[in-house]
Structure formats: structure tokens, C-alpha cells
Copies of this chain bind each other. A is one copy, B any other.
């Protein structure tokens, strides 16, 4: 019985890092995150004004960021206020730090 890619199970950290990276892999989502991280929380409508794309498209990107855990939305009728999900944002930062951290005993060969 042959093993294929479907059988692979990755460590929690690897899977989580990949999930975060995927959320960060689109320039629109990066723009949204930078906006939230640097300026303030905002409403969907604020982003619709800034970004030249359909409202439905932006809403979809927000959904992906929310599902990845990087942002959170608080109902503030009739609007929804989006903010960085600080705890998960910190976790993502930590995972990327670990990823880029060389082990001290790395063997260099090139």
C-alpha cells in the first residue's frame, strides 16, 4: 500500500505557520492587515473606500483573515468593526520568528 501526500500529518506549529502564511500571501490581505495594525480598527466600508475592488471581494478577504484568526470583527450595528486579533497576531509573529531562527548547531556546507 503506497503512501502519498494525503497521508502526511504535520506538526501543529508547521500546520499553523502554513495557515498564517497563506492568509498573508495576498497583497490585498497584507494591505488590510497593515492598515489595521498601523492605523486603527476600521469598518468594512473604510476599506472599500481605500481599496479599488468590489465590496464583496473585500468582504471575502476579511472572512479569510478572520478564519485564519488574524483579525476579529465586533458587531457595531449596522457596521462591523474589524481589529487585529492581538493574541493570534502575536502567535503568528512568534511562529515566523522561530521559522527564521537558525539553530545554533547548524552545519554550514555552502
Within the oligomer, what is the number of copies of this chain? 2
Please measure, in the bound complex, the distance between the C-alpha atom of A37 and the C-alpha atom of B16, giving whole angstroms.
Answer: 19
Smallest CB gap from A18: residue in B: B27
Given A30-B18, A33-B99, A34-B99, check contact A8 B110 (CB 8 Å): no
- State how many residues of chain A have any CB contact under 8 Å with chain B: 47
A49 / chain B contacts, CB cutoff of 8 Å: none
A22 at interface, CB cutoff 8 A: yes
A18 / chain B contacts, CB cutoff of 8 Å: 24-27, 30
Instruction: Identify A41's interface contact among B57, B93, B110, CB under 8 A.
Output: B110
What 7 pairs between A and B have smallest CB-CB spacing? A22-B25, A21-B24, A3-B52, A93-B100, A21-B25, A5-B53, A10-B27
